[in-house]
Amino acid sequence: MNQVAATSNTIMSIETEQAAIQWRGNYENASALLNQYYDFYRDGLHPILAKWVEICIQCAIFITDISFEVANISALKPVGFARKLAYKGLLLRLVEFQNHFDVRTINEDLKNYVTEMNKDLGEEQLFYPANEIADFRKRLTSHFNEWDKLKIIRNNAAGHYKKISVQLPALEAIDPDEVDKITLELFTYMANTLNLIASIHPEGFKLSKYSHR
């Protein structure tokens, strides 16, 4: 199974030549993972196993979306006001994800899944990486308030083309450095979480009691 690069010392800042190469690779790995989880989910699953794959798909959708946006920014290197517009697309991805998938609950969701599975797996117990996931989440909590601020900017910057007096100041308020910081932290968190979730099932999805494979 592919892994997505996610440690803080390997993820590059967004607007460099080396970053363009790395983020393109991140997109290729993330999209391959997404397709793998999607195909498996559509093959039909036991309801308990489906819960786990749903979490994987949600994580994979996010890191695929983000990798696509960042790879384009890194490759095209927009400047001036156009740079802020380019970052609007990345900002939309961040806010959209937070609106539909609360990272505050992923730890509890995963813990509940492992507990439920282990009730009747017998000797084939799953390992729940509580400490690792808690560490990733702790690093992320400092950005929750920043997301709330970004939502306000996003709401004014997105799509209100007839209200240029509202849209332009909102776009001008986008701070690429701040969006970079939040993007890298959230990407790292979600990619590491996805890799840990995948490691719960060492052989991928092959739990004979629950899977068709």
pLDDT, one tens digit for every residue, the chain (213 residues): 455 554 334 445 676 778 888 889 989 999 998 998 898 888 877 777 777 788 888 888 989 999 999 999 988 889 999 998 888 888 888 877 776 666 667 777 777 878 877 776 666 677 777 777 777 677 666 666 666 667 767 666 665 555 777 778 888 888 888 888 888 877 887 888 788 777 776 554 455 455 444
Q: Name the burial class of residue 74, with classes exposed (0-12), middle (13-18) and buried (19+) by CB atoms within 10 angstroms of its CB.
A: buried
- pLDDT reported for residue 146: 67
* Count of Cβ atoms closer than 10 Å to residue 199 Cβ: 13
Closest among 209, 197, 187 to 66, alpha carbons compared = 187
| Contact present, 98 and 77 (Cβ < 8 Å) | no
User: In angstroms, what is the C-alpha Rg of the chain?
Assistant: 19
pTM summary value: 0.77
Which pLDDT score is estimated for 17?
Answer: 75
In this structure, the number of other CB atoms found within 10 A of the CB of residue 72 comes to 17
Q: What is the SS3 assignment for 146?
A: helix
